[in-house]
Structure 1
Amino acid sequence: MRNMRRKLPPLNALRAFEASGRYLSFTGAAKELLVTQGAISRHVSLLEDWLGVKLFLRTHRGIELTRKGETYIRALSSVFDQIDYATREARDDADGSVLRLKLPPTFAMRWLVPRLTRFKSLHPKIDIQVVTSHEPANFRREDIDVSVHSHPFPPEGAGHRRLLGEVLMPVCSPSLLERGPALRTPGDLAHHTLLSSRNRPMDWSRWMIEAGMTELESEGHIDFDNAALAYQGAIDDLGVMIAVRALIEDDLRSGRLVSPFDLQVSTPGAYYLACSQVGAKSPQLEAFEAWLVWEAVDYERGLSAPAITGSPPPQ
């Protein structure tokens, strides 16, 4: 190795510039790096002074890369990707004994976590870290091994594997059925509060169209930013939730929730699995992927069992 002193600009300035160039926004870079927009701007100016060139054009619409900036960011992004890969390889847990999962919050809480004990019983030495987000993983930028994400249609490109389809059904608590108003036909929903998730705004419309209704004026509507809160609201008699069956199966079996109608509606959407392509798959990652796919197949095989429908218990 040559013993030559490298002439490198400040690392924080490089990171600020590279993130700003990817987002074409100081604000976006600030959010990623957890600093203020002003700090990003100062770092970029420092780098420009250090280089003696302009990297961005400041306009009334925001920022644009100069020709020098475009050339520089291409080289830097490649270098940062190499550093990211080398860092993963050098980590103490690079043998794959720690698996990092990125999952939608409600999927994690209501489908995966109740099943994880089965995986841990098979592989007790594999540690798992779970991050929840409604955004799919960016494996080039995030230290994530496995990502599950709900897509309204099959995602483009290789590397995605279908896990679970989406079947919609209204559900509520048994006590809500008992005390009324009655829920004998879909039109009776007009007399109830409808619950939904902000991340799935079309679910009620999809189900109602299949039920033969073009619109419905209900008693009220409560929209949650997390579907798990909406499901809990249904359990606690708050109203009727339009549910993804896979996420409330345990509640149906235990009787915490019931379905007042037989109609179940399949959507074009599904949950898809993707695994990091950075380096070869470790035996631990392969084991988890195989287990997760088996669990999904086993669940969907049992989906042919009828839903638990409800009616008011005898007085």
Structure 2
Amino acid sequence: MPNMRRKLPPLNALRAFEASGRYSSFTGAAKELLVTQGAVSRHVSLLEDWLGVQLFLRTHRGIELTRKGETYIRALSSVFDQIDYATREARDEADGSVLRLKLPPTFAMRWLVPRLKHFQTRHPKIEIQIFTSHEPANFRREDVDLSVHSHPFPPNDTSQRRLLGEVLMPVCSPLLPVQERPLKLPKDLANYALLSSRHRPMDWSRWLVEAGITELENHGSINFDNAALAYQGALDKLGVVIAVRALIEDDLRNGRLVAPFDLQVSTPGAYYLACSQVSSRSPQLAAFEAWLIEEAMAYEQSLAPLKSDR
């Protein structure tokens, strides 16, 4: 059968239309494609002229897909996903089996990386690339296979799988000078700087309310850009940090940090795991996901109540 010449619209026009449809905005598409809003609008108009159909309704509120536009974008999105998957497969064959992970910085540093040697031992040929961010992954826009993100409440997205629960507890260095300023009761926290992360602004309030304290005039507080810095501040005897237990477990076990109080408070939040649908058929991703879930289950089953060291 002779080869048929494909009749395809300009690729840039297709990309501009597909991105505009996802964002319902030429401006949003322009930011993703790194072009001007005017360029996106011109590409979409070119595509409409080429097809001879109207894809968007332009209103004073913005743009919205027409019925033909909705049908067309569903087909295009599926095709772009297939191209993305095929491209990743081709690239991964060239540079070896590669997994790209997007993780919160403190989770990566304090929970995943110390365990990663276990995975390497099982799968020495899989290359891991780790990117850190507090923002959830957008698999349609980012070259990421798997992400972990902390959600304050269970997400509506049922494709995300719960990985680790969040248990809050104050911890500090065992070298904190408590002889001069006792730290026996929660109210004694008033004598110390309270350390926290700006990405978790409610943690101290949650714990203090459970401890029966609604007001606390303390010796100032230090709010860090991320929890890893706050934990380092506690190690350096700057004060008492409100910590997620899973992220300071090793410090508790080896005595670098201690819990002055027995009270631990579970939050409605947890760390959730999500995978790119494009990469979901990858055997290396399946292996990593299974290992990660296994590690999380083993950790949570190993938890035992901690007794105060003070």
TM-score of the two chains, using structure 2 as the length reference: 0.84
Moved more, 136-145 or 222-231: 136-145
Residue of structure 1 in register with 2:267 after alignment: 267
Gaps of 5+ in 1: none
Q: Using a 3 Å threshold, how does the CA distance of structure 1 residues 153 and 19 change in structure 2: closer, same or farther?
A: same
Residue of structure 2 in register with 1:295 after alignment: 295
Query: 2:81–2:278: 8 Å Cα contact kept in structure 1?
Result: no
- Superposed CA deviations along residues 244-291 of structure 1, whole A, max 9, x for unmatched, are 011011222343322222211122322233444447644433432332
Query: 2:102–2:133: 8 Å Cα contact kept in structure 1?
Result: yes
* Partner AA of 1:32 in structure 2: E
Q: Using a 3 Å threshold, how does the CA distance of structure 1 residues 123 and 92 change in structure 2: closer, same or farther?
A: closer
Residue of structure 2 in register with 1:195 after alignment: 195
Residue of structure 2 in register with 1:241 after alignment: 241
**DSSP-derived class of the 1:127 partner:** strand
Q: Partners in 1 of 2:61 and 2:219 — Cα distance?
A: 45
Q: Partners in 1 of 2:85 and 2:61 — Cα distance?
A: 35
Q: Using a 3 Å threshold, how does the CA distance of structure 1 residues 222 and 294 change in structure 2: closer, same or farther?
A: same
- Superposed CA deviations along residues 47-89 of structure 1, whole A, max 9, x for unmatched, are 3454455543444433333444334323322322232233334
Query: 2:163–2:270: 8 Å Cα contact kept in structure 1?
Result: yes
Query: 2:99–2:145: 8 Å Cα contact kept in structure 1?
Result: yes
Q: Partners in 1 of 2:222 and 2:47 — Cα distance?
A: 49
**DSSP-derived class of the 1:19 partner:** helix
Q: Using a 3 Å threshold, how does the CA distance of structure 1 residues 34 and 240 change in structure 2: closer, same or farther?
A: farther
Query: 2:190–2:219: 8 Å Cα contact kept in structure 1?
Result: yes
Q: Partners in 2 of 1:170 and 1:238 — Cα distance?
A: 13
Aligned length in residues: 310
Q: Using a 3 Å threshold, how does the CA distance of structure 1 residues 70 and 188 change in structure 2: closer, same or farther?
A: same
**DSSP-derived class of the 2:63 partner:** strand
**Cα distance, 1:130 vs structure 2:** 1.6
**Cα distance, 1:109 vs structure 2:** 1.2
The percentage of aligned residue pairs carrying the same residue is 80
Query: 2:189–2:218: 8 Å Cα contact kept in structure 1?
Result: yes
Moved more, 188-197 or 274-283: 274-283
**DSSP-derived class of the 2:182 partner:** coil
- Superposed CA deviations along residues 117-167 of structure 1, whole A, max 9, x for unmatched, are 222123211111122233444555554333322233344465444322211
Q: How do 1:243-258 residues align onto structure 2 when only pairs under 5 Å count?
A: 243-258=243-258
Query: 1:96–1:284: 8 Å Cα contact kept in structure 2?
Result: no
Q: Using a 3 Å threshold, how does the CA distance of structure 1 residues 73 and 186 change in structure 2: closer, same or farther?
A: same
**DSSP-derived class of the 2:78 partner:** helix
Query: 2:13–2:47: 8 Å Cα contact kept in structure 1?
Result: yes
**Cα distance, 1:36 vs structure 2:** 4.0
**DSSP-derived class of the 2:110 partner:** helix
Q: Using a 3 Å threshold, how does the CA distance of structure 1 residues 58 and 282 change in structure 2: closer, same or farther?
A: closer
Residue of structure 2 in register with 1:116 after alignment: 116
Query: 1:171–1:260: 8 Å Cα contact kept in structure 2?
Result: yes
* Partner AA of 1:244 in structure 2: V
Q: Using a 3 Å threshold, how does the CA distance of structure 1 residues 180 and 230 change in structure 2: closer, same or farther?
A: farther
Q: Partners in 2 of 1:22 and 1:157 — Cα distance?
A: 18
Query: 1:96–1:285: 8 Å Cα contact kept in structure 2?
Result: no
Query: 1:88–1:94: 8 Å Cα contact kept in structure 2?
Result: no
Q: Partners in 1 of 2:46 and 2:174 — Cα distance?
A: 64
Query: 2:190–2:217: 8 Å Cα contact kept in structure 1?
Result: yes
Moved more, 159-168 or 272-281: 272-281
Query: 2:111–2:246: 8 Å Cα contact kept in structure 1?
Result: yes
Q: Using a 3 Å threshold, how does the CA distance of structure 1 residues 222 and 48 change in structure 2: closer, same or farther?
A: farther
**DSSP-derived class of the 1:176 partner:** coil
Residue of structure 1 in register with 2:97 after alignment: 97
Residue of structure 2 in register with 1:6 after alignment: 6
Residue of structure 2 in register with 1:147 after alignment: 147
* Partner AA of 2:186 in structure 1: P
